[in-house]
Amino acid sequence: MAEVIGVRFKESGKIYYFDPDGKSFSKGDKVIVETVRGIECGDIAVANNAVNDEEIVHPLKKAIRVANKEDIKTVEANRKIEADAFVFCEKKVEELGLDMKLVEVECTFDGSKMLFYFTSDDRVDFRELVKILASQYRTRIEMRQIGVRDVSKMLGGLGICGRPFCCSQFLDDFHPVSIKMAKEQGLSLNPTKISGTCGRLLCCLKYEQESYEYLNKITPRVGSVVETREGRGTVTENNLLTGKLKVSLERRPEAIPAEYDRRDVKLVKRPRHEEPAEE
């Protein structure tokens, strides 16, 4: 076990662990820490806490101090520099005729580096742009090409549910989402209905996937042969969430399928496409 503090550098960014170095920090405090990018100012997301060594990437860098008034002024000054750099860079991108879209500019706390995030469908030769930016701001310039999901996380917006994007609100990182999840949850496979504003599959498909996997295991699929209190029949429809099944009984094939609870039937045979292949 080791004592750590969790620091977040963006409102909905990933939490990084640091060594509190014997100091006590409270959630919400602004703290100055040393990172691989240099000295940075972040927010305490997790106060002093003990975690397992397996959860830590060693060696842990130490927290320097709680941010003071001068540090806050430096952060505010950097925000103004970032806004100015964004406008300046956009102008130069247009003048140079580069096929790229600027998304965000970041300035490290100590001013040793400026990061320019952009999107592009193709590879961009931005060497001339970097020279111009380095000459203008007298610091190290780094250009980073990002994907559409990262853009949504940075810029934010409203999803089809009417709420702010999950990625810009609370998701620390992106998790793999597959079309298989939409199938198992019984959703329409229409791309416009299962895709987010970024054009990728909705992140929220991941939230309930474990529950749907469990329900799929205990609920007879459509086409399964089951034994009911009224005899054997075939499942024609199922509802995973309510556990209700519609079964066409063998002794009354022309009748409307009867409704049962999954707890009241016994699986006899799985659908043909789910049966294991003969060796």
Give the mean pLDDT of 195-209. 90
Provide the residue ranges of all domains of the chain, joining segments of one domain with +.
Answer: 2-67, 73-146, 152-205, 219-274
pLDDT in tens, 144-153: 999 888 888 8
Asked if residue 160 has pLDDT above 80, the reply is: yes
- pLDDT band at residue 259 under the 50/70/90 scheme: very high
* Max Cα–Cα distance, the chain, nearest Å: 85
Sheet arrangement for strand 38-51: 15-18, 2-8, 38-51, 30-35, 63-66
- pLDDT band at residue 276 under the 50/70/90 scheme: low
Weakest mean pLDDT among 42-51, 78-87, 266-275: 266-275
CA distance 6 to 23: 13
> Which CATH code fits 219-274?
2.30.30.30
Asked if residue 277 has pLDDT above 50, the reply is: no
The structure tokens listed for 186 are 């019984």
| pLDDT over 70 percentage in the chain | 97
- pLDDT band at residue 96 under the 50/70/90 scheme: very high
Q: Which amino acid is at 252?
A: R
Asked if residue 99 has pLDDT above 50, the reply is: yes
User: Is residue 143 classed as helix, strand or coil in its secondary structure?
Assistant: strand
CATH 3.30.300.20 is right for the domain spanning 73-146:
yes
| pLDDT over 90 percentage in the chain | 51
pLDDT of residue 274: 61
Fold match flag (73-146 vs 219-274): no
Geometric angle at alpha carbon 59, from 58 and 64, rounded to 5°: 130
Cβ proximity of 260 and 245 under 8 Å? yes
pLDDT of residue 150: 87
Computed over every residue of the chain, the mean pLDDT equals 88
pLDDT of residue 73: 94
- pLDDT band at residue 35 under the 50/70/90 scheme: confident
Give the mean pLDDT of 28-54. 86
Q: Cα torsion at 219, 222, 227, 231 (round to 10°)?
A: 140
pLDDT of residue 278: 44
Cβ proximity of 2 and 60 under 8 Å? yes
pLDDT in tens, 53-76: 777 777 888 888 999 999 999 999
User: Is residue 268 classed as helix, strand or coil in its secondary structure?
Assistant: strand
pLDDT of residue 275: 55
Give the mean pLDDT of 31-38. 86
pLDDT of residue 172: 74
